[in-house]
């Protein structure tokens, strides 16, 4: 304070006391954050979840470190505050990743009087002027009885930093978006989780490529790539990890490593449930990646099985030479450059055949096309259909198929151009495929998506429901993960629900034992590694009501060929008062079944005149209202003339030895044709009860696959064998 004297005339002097303030002593302007940015997570929430993140708050400041002491919020946008039991805020420092869980800021709050009522969480957190700011997360604990389909949201009204309040505008405080409540949404893997690699606990930063299936006992089984050092595909180092849940996805058991090739990689697992024996088949690739694969050094195809609902697994078996590559005996596929199996779910046909869609590159640098591999012996040996589909612009890629009620196969294909999802239909079990078509309702983001049957009127359900998952986006960005449903065998897809609008890529889907739906999927915040989530939801939320299983449940169905040449069929079924009768149907080729007879009770039938060769049987259970469902399909072999045929060596270079053993002397015709149906050799022989040994000179024949048939006197085919001429 300064004092100054002022003279205002000659007759007297007046003194004025004047106070002067320097700039340094002026009142300080209240401190405010340089920016506060709110982001919606939009991640689904599950009933009973704890620490479900709803929004993130990014706070930036300038100058020296300051304390953030208060965050004022509302639950605006939330459907029902009763769905939430607790509200917490977590601080993750300068990391934009929620995991690992940070430190709690302030105390736990309970929902306010209304969703629009302000409430404040106070605490003390020092923050600096870090360029990327500091992250706070608003989380909700959900009630066990939270309502599926309701949404959760939060609004950040203001924050106090350095004693000054930063108030957000209406738009900035509540950006577009919310989180849907599902029955469950659990993290299965996250970056830095520990798995077993090389027999020791090892951290994996990257988890990718989901596959999920429901085991015969109702357990949930998932397969995932644990990728080490990079998120990239083969040939980079990766292991295949199994995780199971025995309580419908609420909790998950410790991870199991089922494929570990040391420094080599294993990945892209696909799962099939063999319903005839309850085994789970896991097919996967290993070693070389697609870009490096050649006929001489191909990307490997492998299979492993579980006979105990995913608890333990057999050692992987390399089946590459059964399918393609220079070590394969198939003259068509031995020169192919790569074959790999689409990750996710594959399928079992009504006949019991296991089928998986594969991508194929036939020549170096050539377009990718699709075909199927299949097994008729529960996954031990595999064959490939060589008539591939070239899916046009962009080529085929990761694809999946479903068998329709009429026996046709539908293949849904990823096409590497933006647009609509493409599909093809096969009427001959995958030997050939029809023209490419598009589903107008399904946008395709050039990504793998699962395609499965949920229910069928041929299996005891009152509806036909197919499910398809895909990031539905035509811009090329893999986001907006959506579940589609069809109730007309895939003709149209009018039903769809969004699971996660953010970044999400591969997904796999399954019907769970309680009738709900399980979805295993990848999601990520921008610039961060994927987290693997399991979501569970109901048909009702999806938009389908009135689903039920019809009155008859088939417990068992089997048949056998009697010494008399007749076929005896027996089945067990649980039926209620709405059941009317059973109809026995037979087919020679799995597609066109005809009725043999009607059965009231007991549950057995005698086919006195079975077809020569393979007979396919199924039981049609008819209800009083005319509705019906089918049993599984079984097959019975009937050789009218009992004859055993063996041949060796196979492959053969010069002399093929053929041995025939019959129950009685007979005259037969031996016929050999090439893969185009041209007859190369046809000769009649008389055979006796003991072994009849024949020798065929094939030295001059063209190296390829040949088909050997044995016919009786009326030209009925008694046996069909294949051999390779080197």
Q: What is the DSSP letter of 366?
A: P
Query: Are residues 365 and 457 both part of a single domain?
Result: yes
* Top mean-pLDDT range of 403-407, 639-643, 648-652: 403-407
Residue 403 lies in a domain: yes
Identify the residue whose tokens are 């991870």. Answer: 255
Tens digit of pLDDT for each residue in 280-310?
Answer: 999 999 999 988 999 999 999 999 999 999 9
Token duo for residue 296? 């001489």
Final residue before a domain boundary, out of 638, 660, 684: 638
Query: Are residues 486 and 613 both part of a single domain?
Result: no
Residue 351 has pLDDT above 90, yes or no: no
Query: Are residues 400 and 305 both part of a single domain?
Result: yes
Mean pLDDT of the chain: 89
- 93 φ/ψ sector (left φ>0, alpha ψ -120 to 50, else beta): left
Mean pLDDT, residues 222-247 taken together: 95
Q: Which pLDDT value is given to residue 640? A: 60
Confidence grade of residue 29 (pLDDT, cut at 50, 70, 90): low
Pairing state between β 45-46 and 179-182: parallel
Residue 549 has pLDDT above 80, yes or no: no
Residue 15 lies in a domain: no
Query: Are residues 108 and 197 both part of a single domain?
Result: no
Token duo for residue 575? 């039926």
Range in 40-44, 529-533, 653-657 with the lowest mean pLDDT: 653-657
Residue 448 has pLDDT above 90, yes or no: yes
Residue 269 lies in a domain: yes
Final residue before a domain boundary, out of 588, 612, 638: 638
Tens digit of pLDDT for each residue in 201-221?
Answer: 999 999 999 999 999 999 999
Burial class (CB in 10 A: 0-12, 13-18, 19+), 614: middle
Query: Are residues 259 and 406 both part of a single domain?
Result: yes
H/E stretch holding 181 reads strand 179-182
Residue 12 lies in a domain: no
Identify the residue whose tokens are 């089928």. Answer: 355
Mean pLDDT, residues 628-642 taken together: 79
Residue 362 has pLDDT above 90, yes or no: yes
Residue 51 has pLDDT above 60, yes or no: yes
Query: Are residues 536 and 390 both part of a single domain?
Result: yes
Cα–Cα dist 473/447, whole Å: 10
Final residue before a domain boundary, out of 573, 604, 638: 638
Mean pLDDT, residues 89-107 taken together: 94
Q: Which pLDDT value is given to residue 415? A: 80
Query: Are residues 512 and 591 both part of a single domain?
Result: no
Query: Are residues 158 and 307 both part of a single domain?
Result: no
Residue 455 lies in a domain: yes
Mean pLDDT, residues 189-209 taken together: 96
Report the domain count for the chain: 4
Q: Which pLDDT value is given to residue 54? A: 97
Q: Which pLDDT value is given to residue 551? A: 65
Sequence-distant (6+) residues with CB within 8 A of 700 are none
**DSSP characters over 327-354:** T-S-TTTTT-SEEEEPSEE-EE-TTS-E
Q: In this structure, are residues 620 and 554 in contact, taking their beta carbons and an 8 Å threshold? A: no
Mean pLDDT, residues 233-256 taken together: 97
Query: Are residues 267 and 374 both part of a single domain?
Result: yes
Q: How far is CA 293 from CA 236, 398, 551, 713, in A?
A: 13, 17, 52, 49
Query: Are residues 623 and 664 both part of a single domain?
Result: no
Q: Which pLDDT value is given to residue 533? A: 97
Query: Are residues 212 and 88 both part of a single domain?
Result: no
Mean pLDDT, residues 134-139 taken together: 98
Mean pLDDT, residues 175-202 taken together: 96
Token duo for residue 539? 């048909």
Q: Which pLDDT value is given to residue 641? A: 56
Residue 702 lies in a domain: yes
What b/e sequence results for 173-186 when a residue is b if at least 16 CB atoms lie within 10 Å of its CB, and e otherwise? bbeebbbbbbbbbb
* Top mean-pLDDT range of 44-53, 365-374, 454-463, 560-569: 44-53
Instruction: State the CATH number of the domain containing residue 394.
Output: 2.120.10.10
Instruction: State the CATH number of the domain containing residue 681.
Output: 2.60.40.2550
Report which of 542, 517, 504, 499 is spatially closest to residue 179, judged by C-alpha positions: 499
Give the largest CA-CA distance in the chain: 158
Tens digit of pLDDT for each residue in 583-616?
Answer: 999 998 767 889 999 887 668 899 988 887 788 9
Residue 114 has pLDDT above 70, yes or no: yes
What b/e sequence results for 560-572 when a residue is b if at least 16 CB atoms lie within 10 Å of its CB, and e otherwise? ebeeeeebebebe
Q: Which pLDDT value is given to residue 613? A: 79
Residue 19 lies in a domain: no
Q: In this structure, are residues 435 and 429 in contact, taking their beta carbons and an 8 Å threshold? A: no
Instruction: State the CATH number of the domain containing residue 579.
Output: 2.60.40.10
Confidence grade of residue 488 (pLDDT, cut at 50, 70, 90): very high
Range in 56-65, 266-275, 654-663 with the lowest mean pLDDT: 654-663
Domain range for 152 is 35-181
What percent of the chain shows pLDDT beyond 70? 92
Q: Which pLDDT value is given to residue 23? A: 35
Confidence grade of residue 631 (pLDDT, cut at 50, 70, 90): confident
Residue 368 lies in a domain: yes
Cα–Cα dist 156/204, whole Å: 35
- 695 φ/ψ sector (left φ>0, alpha ψ -120 to 50, else beta): beta
Mean pLDDT, residues 131-160 taken together: 98
Sequence-distant (6+) residues with CB within 8 A of 602 are none
Query: Are residues 583 and 508 both part of a single domain?
Result: no
Range in 141-145, 255-259, 387-391, 453-457 with the lowest mean pLDDT: 387-391
Q: Which pLDDT value is given to residue 95? A: 93
């Amino acid at each position: 304070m300064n004092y100054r004297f002022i003279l205002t005339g000659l007759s007297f002097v007046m003194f004025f006391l004047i106070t002067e303030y320097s700039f340094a002593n002026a009142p300080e302007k209240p401190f405010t954050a340089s920016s506060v940015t709110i982001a919606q997570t939009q991640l689904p929430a599950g009933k009973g979840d704890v620490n479900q993140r709803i929004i993130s708050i990014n706070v930036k400041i300038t100058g020296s470190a300051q304390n953030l002491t208060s965050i004022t919020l509302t639950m605006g946008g939330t459907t029902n505050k009763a769905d939430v039991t607790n509200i917490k805020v977590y601080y993750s420092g300068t990391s934009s990743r929620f995991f690992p869980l940070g430190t709690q800021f302030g105390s736990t709050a309970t929902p306010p009087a209304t969703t629009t009522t302000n409430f404040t969480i106070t605490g003390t957190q020092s923050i600096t002027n870090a360029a990327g700011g500091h992250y706070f997360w608003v989380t909700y604990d959900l009630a066990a009885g939270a309502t599926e389909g309701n949404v959760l949201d939060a609004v950040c009204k203001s924050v106090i930093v350095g004693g000054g309040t930063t108030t957000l505008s209406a738009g900035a405080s509540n950006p577009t978006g919310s989180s849907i409540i599902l029955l469950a949404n659990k993290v299965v893997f996250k970056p830095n989780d520990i798995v077993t690699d090389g027999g020791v606990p090892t951290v994996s930063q990257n988890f990718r490529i989901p596959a999920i299936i429901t085991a015969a006992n109702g357990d949930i089984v998932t397969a995932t790539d644990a990728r080490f050092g990079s998120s990239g595909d083969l040939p980079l180092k990766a292991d295949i990890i199994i995780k199971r849940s025995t309580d419908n996805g609420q909790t998950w058991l410790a991870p199991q490593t089922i494929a570990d090739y040391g420094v080599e990689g294993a990945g892209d697992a696909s799962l099939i449930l063999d319903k005839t024996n309850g085994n789970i088949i896991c097919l996967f690739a290993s070693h070389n990646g697609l870009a490096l694969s050649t006929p001489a050094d191909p990307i490997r195809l492998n299979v492993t099985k579980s006979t105990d609902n995913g608890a333990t697994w057999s050692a992987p078996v390399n089946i590459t030479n059964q399918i393609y590559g220079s070590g394969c005996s198939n003259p068509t596929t031995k020169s192919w450059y790569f074959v790999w199996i689409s990750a996710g779910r594959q399928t079992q046909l009504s006949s019991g055949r296991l089928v998986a869609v594969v991508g194929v590159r036939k020549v170096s640098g050539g377009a990718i096309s699709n075909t199927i591999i299949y097994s008729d012996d529960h996954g031990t040996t595999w064959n490939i259909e060589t008539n591939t589909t070239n899916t046009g612009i962009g080529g085929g890629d990761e694809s999946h198929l479903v068998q329709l009620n009429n026996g046709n196969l539908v293949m849904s294909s990823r096409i590497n151009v933006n647009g609509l999802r493409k599909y093809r239909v096969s009427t001959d079990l995958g030997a050939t495929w029809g023209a490419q078509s598009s589903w107008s309702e399904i946008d395709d983001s050039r990504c793998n998506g699962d395609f499965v049957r949920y229910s069928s009127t041929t299996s005891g359900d009152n509806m036909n429901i197919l499910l398809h998952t895909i990031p539905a986006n035509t811009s090329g960005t893999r986001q907006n993960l959506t579940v589609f449903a069809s109730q007309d065998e895939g003709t149209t897809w009018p039903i769809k629900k969004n699971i996660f609008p953010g970044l999400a890529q591969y997904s796999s889907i399954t019907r769970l034992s309680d009738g709900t739906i399980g979805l295993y999927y990848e999601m990520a915040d921008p610039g961060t590694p994927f987290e693997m989530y399991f979501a569970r939801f109901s048909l009702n939320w999806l938009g389908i009501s009135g689903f039920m299983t019809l009155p008859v449940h088939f417990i068992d169905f089997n048949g056998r060929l009697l010494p008399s040449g007749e076929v005896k069929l027996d089945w067990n079924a649980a039926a209620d008062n709405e059941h009317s009768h059973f109809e026995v149907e037979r087919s020679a080729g799995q597609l066109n079944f005809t009725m043999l007879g009607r059965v009231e009770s007991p549950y057995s039938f005698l086919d006195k005149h079975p077809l020569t060769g393979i007979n396919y049987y199924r039981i049609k259970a008819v209800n009083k209202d005319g509705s019906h469902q089918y049993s599984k399909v079984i097959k019975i072999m009937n050789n009218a003339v009992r004859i055993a045929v063996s041949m060796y060596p196979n492959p053969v270079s010069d002399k093929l030895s053929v041995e025939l053993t019959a129950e009685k002397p007979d005259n037969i015709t031996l016929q050999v044709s090439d893969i185009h149906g041209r007859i190369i050799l046809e000769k009649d022989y008389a055979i006796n009860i003991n072994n009849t040994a024949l020798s065929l000179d094939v030295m001059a024949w063209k190296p390829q696959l040949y088909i050997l048939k044995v016919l009786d006197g009326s030209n009925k085919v008694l046996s069909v064998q294949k051999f390779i001429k080197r």
